[in-house]
Structure 1
Amino acid sequence: MSRTVYVNGDWVPEEAATISVFDRGFLMADGVYEVVTVLEGKLVDFAGHCRRLHRSLSELDIASPHTEEEWLQLQRDLVHRNRLREGLVYLQVTRGAEDRDFAWSEGLTPGVVMFTQARSLVDNPLVERGLDIITIDDLRWQRRDIKTVQLLYSSMGKMMAKRAGAHDAWMVEDGLVTEGTSNNAYIIAGRRLITRQAGHAILQGITRTAVLALAAETGLELEERPFTVAEAQAADEAFVTSATTFVMPVVTVDGVKIGDGQPGPMARKLREHYLQQARDAAI
């Protein structure tokens, strides 16, 4: 059955959905996006995603076309129209459309596109197997804290990993891991949970925020700092977090086993705690 998508104020079948060829998101990657998890027909961490959306828009000087309450109603409506029980809501806001130029006109009407993806997120077989990770140079721009639609290098990184027989890539800058292509990166050494601190170098993950708040409940001491590839390879455990994977164990980095090469107990526990909290708080 065709999905119903939202395009600039209209609900339309996906095959009938169109945007202007002059939309700056298409021409210039001039826009931002968010991904909200749906579990049991409810939105997970919606408030956090909405705050980050408004922050990203503000950093690019794009006025938000909707309030938080309006975004919530639109996304709930989208979930309902598509009878989505488990999966994702993708939302993109661009600066708008006008004849092509590097400089933009003030006061453009932002473009808005939303669609759903039905996906089995909880029962992911990779939870039992764990991820194989390669490392690549981080060649992105210096404002990774803004969740822009410019995802070319992250897409290239995914393909580098796929062609190397791995599941994903961690990006490395000045010898230190920044983050994954679409997730935040962590290692566990003893009772220490180590992950790069928030700033311009990484995206402040909404799942990351929730998982860090749960760290104390599992007896972990949080250490927010960059770590090296060698530290990751010598760690007891490693994992990534994102709205699409929750907490996902990492078992190798550049072919070197992490711990015993199996998903670690702390990553499993954090995943269980996060999923329980996500279900309880979903709206």
Structure 2
Amino acid sequence: MIWMDDRFMPESEASVSYLDRGYCFGDGIYEMIRVYGGRLYEPSAHYERLERSAAEIKLSLPYPIEEINRIVLELLKRERLEEGTVYMQITRGVAPRAHGFPAPGTKPVLMAYCGAVKRPVEAMAAGISAITRPDVRWLRCDIKSLNLLGSVLAKQEAVEAGADDVILHRDGIITECSASNLMIVKDGVLLTHPANHLILNGITRAVVLELARKLNIPAIERPFTLQELTAADEAFLTSTIMEVMPIVRIDGSPVGDGLPGSITRKLQRAFEDTIPSPQRR
């Protein structure tokens, strides 16, 4: 089932207008919320970020957040989703193609659907590989917008290089990965780029930083360099889908001893403890 045009409908009935501004310009925002045991994970943080992204691009939400949440929960109920994600996106609506905003009264379009996604347990145990590439995306990466071509091209470079992901940098300063945040560990200290306009402030990122604080793991939000990345004892990415994912090889060289590190493992276990128990039906 899909929510679109103010109603639930089968996937076969869903369609997008050729004049939808999301289709024409990428003029819109999105969120993806993890579902564990039939429950939304950190929904309030996701909805707060959705509201922030909307405000940053001067987009009015088509419904109050409370109504959007009701729609999402009804989707979960209809799909009987136990483990996966809920994806939602909001565009500025359907209007004649022109770069300026459409006429007042043009209604934004909300689309939402569920997807079954299993936890990447095997990859989290073994770790993944990454390559480094220049970050050539626009300068408002803090907005979760539909303009993802930069991330798409970066991810494809990883695919073509036989790696799992890309670590991006601006003039030698590490920012994040293609669709996730990056953290490294050096001498027991956790480092990650500060949450400014150059990265998306990930929900999982925030959870992990809070877990580090509770575990008395020193965590510093500051820019760090390619050289510091190369010299790191541990590296991992954080995201809604990948959770706390160790990176064990970068540009063909091992990170530390080439195995997921002890602090990464500790944070993985702590994160797993935050996953809610399945709902009783």
TM-score interval w.r.t. the shorter chain? over 0.9
Partner of 1:173: 170
Alpha-carbon contact 2:36-2:277 (below 8 Å) kept: no
Amino acid at match of 2:264: A
Give the CA deviation at 1:134: 0.4
Residue 55 of structure 1 is aligned with which of 36, 52, 66? Answer: 52
The question of 1:237 aligning with 2:234 is answered yes
What SS is found at the alignment partner of 1:223? strand
Amino acid at match of 1:110: P
Alpha-carbon contact 1:188-1:237 (below 8 Å) kept: yes
Amino acid at match of 1:275: E
Residue 211 of structure 2 is aligned with which of 202, 209, 214? Answer: 214
Amino acid at match of 1:37: R
The question of 1:40 aligning with 2:66 is answered no
Equivalent-residue separation in structure 1 for 2:141 and 2:270 (angstroms):
28
Partner of 1:112: 110
Alpha-carbon contact 2:158-2:164 (below 8 Å) kept: yes
Superposition pairs for residues 93-104 of structure 1, below 5 Å?
Answer: 93-104=90-101
Equivalent-residue separation in structure 2 for 1:279 and 1:264 (angstroms):
25
Residue 82 of structure 1 is aligned with which of 75, 79, 99? Answer: 79
Name whichever of 111-120 and 212-221 sits farther off.
212-221
* % identical equivalent positions: 38
User: Compared with structure 1, are the counterparts of its residues 35 and 82 closer, same or farther at alpha carbon in structure 2 (3 Å cutoff)?
Assistant: same
Equivalent-residue separation in structure 1 for 2:192 and 2:33 (angstroms):
23
Equivalent-residue separation in structure 1 for 2:30 and 2:152 (angstroms):
15
Name whichever of 97-106 and 181-190 sits farther off.
97-106
Alpha-carbon contact 1:45-1:278 (below 8 Å) kept: no
Alpha-carbon contact 1:212-1:222 (below 8 Å) kept: yes
The question of 1:129 aligning with 2:115 is answered no
Structure 1 outlier segments of 4+, above 6 Å? none
Give the CA deviation at 1:281: 11
Equivalent-residue separation in structure 2 for 1:258 and 1:87 (angstroms):
30
Equivalent-residue separation in structure 1 for 2:171 and 2:243 (angstroms):
28
What SS is found at the alignment partner of 2:121? coil
* Per-residue CA distance 1:45-103 (angstroms, 9 max, x = gap): 10000000000001111111222221221111111111110001100000001011111
Equivalent-residue separation in structure 2 for 1:112 and 1:43 (angstroms):
19
Equivalent-residue separation in structure 2 for 1:235 and 1:280 (angstroms):
35
Partner of 2:180: 183
Residue 275 of structure 2 is aligned with which of 255, 260, 278? Answer: 278
The question of 1:250 aligning with 2:247 is answered yes
Partner of 1:226: 223
TM-score (norm 1): 0.95
Unpaired segments ≥5 residues, structure 1: none
Equivalent-residue separation in structure 2 for 1:110 and 1:6 (angstroms):
14
Equivalent-residue separation in structure 2 for 1:115 and 1:239 (angstroms):
29
The question of 1:25 aligning with 2:22 is answered yes
Equivalent-residue separation in structure 2 for 1:57 and 1:156 (angstroms):
25
Give the CA deviation at 1:108: 1.7
Unpaired segments ≥5 residues, structure 2: none
Equivalent-residue separation in structure 1 for 2:211 and 2:51 (angstroms):
25
Equivalent-residue separation in structure 1 for 2:277 and 2:260 (angstroms):
25
Give the CA deviation at 1:182: 0.4
Amino acid at match of 2:95: E
TM-score (norm 2): 0.96
